[in-house]
Structure 1
Amino acid sequence: MKEKRRVILLLVKFLVFNIVNATSFSDLNLKRRGADDCKPVVVAHRGASGYVPEHTLGAYALAITMGADYVEPDLVMTSDGHLISRHENELGHTCDVSQRPEFANRYRTQNVSGKTVTGWFSEDFTLAEIKTLRATEPIPLIRPGNARLDKAYDIPTFQEIIDLVKALEISENRTIGIYPELKYGLHFQNLGLAMEPKVVDIFHRNGYTEKNDPVYIQSFEVSNLKKLKKLTNLRLLQLYGAPTARPFDQAELGTWLTYARMATPKGLANVAEYAAAVGPQKSYIIPRNLANNLGSPTNFVKDAHAAGLEVHPWTFRAENVYLPKEFQSNNSSIAFGDLESEIKAFLDAGVDGLFVDQPDILVRVRGQCSD
């Protein structure tokens, strides 16, 4: 097992750190497949997070070599205004900060987007301090294999992810998209650490400026997407949480706008005024019944398409614990079930792309994609 882990690390290091050699070919005019040329679009959720600890350069590199069209980093802010990739601004579940006595005094409780959260927060650390931390698997009981790579990687910046993508575009000879989610937008705005202009600035400085460029910027909030619409031509995606919930920024504004209202034909038409796509929970498209089996498809995809929106639902995972009952393989919650069949059901419902933790499975279901 130690030897296998060593080989994996060597492979990922080769993919991640051979940028210097790869970029010597950057001026070649190679014919590349576009990130949106094949359907459904394969969005590697937090990288290949079903195989490697999420939001690490290793996870993103593996996803790309597996054939993902887009890598999906979640972004939060440091105290000195840098964008880093973590699913939450609370760091305790995804790195070794709890084992670092020098940071024990950073442990605190605060309100984050309407929820009381206790732990260590990205906004209390400088980038230099963040770079001393090592990433860990957040769900080791479900993904014990991933946990074997705990502390193998550091926490990447947004720019480092872009650099990795651009390097691997050369070796893969295809365009690879970047699909960031802005986490807790209003929370960081209230701290004076607004991430929206920083994300746009980094994208624009790296040559991503137009609506057809391989980028989607996503958020569960509404106001920041409308702000982004004024700052950039890059495509935006509105995420959808639980139907009865309200986007946090809308709750703060007192608008009473719920995700359910945003899922109606009128609501989708309103979303289409600022977004190019929507990212709903899977249940908006095919709900599950009381037996935890897939039910009948709704009209969500049809209504979204009528409004001119693409539909990229989340999140598809291979472990039994996440699958509908009819696609589970055995009584082990962590064993892989029949994710392929679940994916096929959603493709039959007309979706345009999927967020997936095991991108190789979706690539296999999609089949050969010609350049």
Structure 2
Amino acid sequence: MKNIVILGSTGSIGTSALDVIHRLGNQYQVLALSANNNTDLFLKQIHTFHPRFAAVLNPISYDKLKDQMPQGTRLLPPEIDSLMFIASLPSADLIVNGLVGAVGFRPLVAAIKAGKTIALANKEPMVMAGKTLMQECERWQAAILPVDSEPSAIFQCLSGLAGKNNYAKISDDISRIFLTASGGPFAKYEGPLDEVTPAQALSHPRWKMGKKITIDSSTLMNKGFEAIEIMNLFNVPEEKVQIVIHPQSIVHSAVEFNDGAILAQMGEPDMRVPIQYAITYPQRAISPVKKLDLFETAKLEFFKPDLERFVCLDLALAAARSGGITPAVLSAADEIAVQAFLDGKIKFTDISKLIYTTLRKVPSTGGIATINQALEADTWGREEASAILNEGTYKDAVL
């Protein structure tokens, strides 16, 4: 029996994870769930999976749910400590972190310090302080299994070549990592990007995801985040990471070794595949997901990203080179900018301008950000980006 905690159970990752667990049968048990606003779905999940603990961060959601808990389920107070508590439960075998943004940082740290195995879809913490988090994994004998399609593909290509997060000994054998991206809804878009609406940006051609990650995918910031994540997770320098636009999303990523051999992970674009692999790891299980038919697959295209058109990707790669607290500020400013775009306060092209203007105010620190430095940088980045948004000074940015 594997006891599983799911952080963010009503989001796209969480719902897919519960679908996988339901299908896999009684050898997997849901120990705890967390959500934020979607109380109707959350209550349905609680009644279906009967977790021992349930947690919501939103006090309004807590008030709606507190008198509706079934027998055997305890609703925890609406605070971050509740997420940290369920992320470090002694009886938990796997923590699925499907949270969005920096809110997942503290629960991830709690899970690491409890020596847990974490199925990680919440990439922002790995952007904010990935190297430090990997050092903490080694210290506490924790393990991170990437859940996002492309990092999972790289993980699968490297499986068996390294021990528990011990990628240092094989990084010298890696020549290049090909990190693929669909290109989002605007890969071949010929219209003016400054006229793009939130509805257009939320229409991803390949993946069904939450709003934040879908907008990040449309700006290619998501791919920039993933690039930083895999640099930290797999201990490879930026020059070994090559981002490739692949509109068909069939090759999920690939690893080239020093002898010229390339291992690629391929399949139909369905998030249940990497989620299931993380849940059943190191075993594999039968899945109802559509199997790839190579004879019916159309031609596969690969081309370089246009960094002048997709400035957010360029900003992310520059932040990776700067190091220190810069990636944490990048993540914070992106959250503010994306929400402002969704709220109709700024244009699509202003997302990169707001982030760029915020990053220009970051002192040159370099090095590796500690956990506390990353958290402080996140707070500072949000405050600074919000002030720049209100002042409107981002409009003058020349990228």
Q: TM-score, normalised by structure 1?
A: 0.31
Which protein is richer in helix relative to its size? 2
Higher-RCO chain (CA-CA 8 Å, sequence separation at least 6): 1
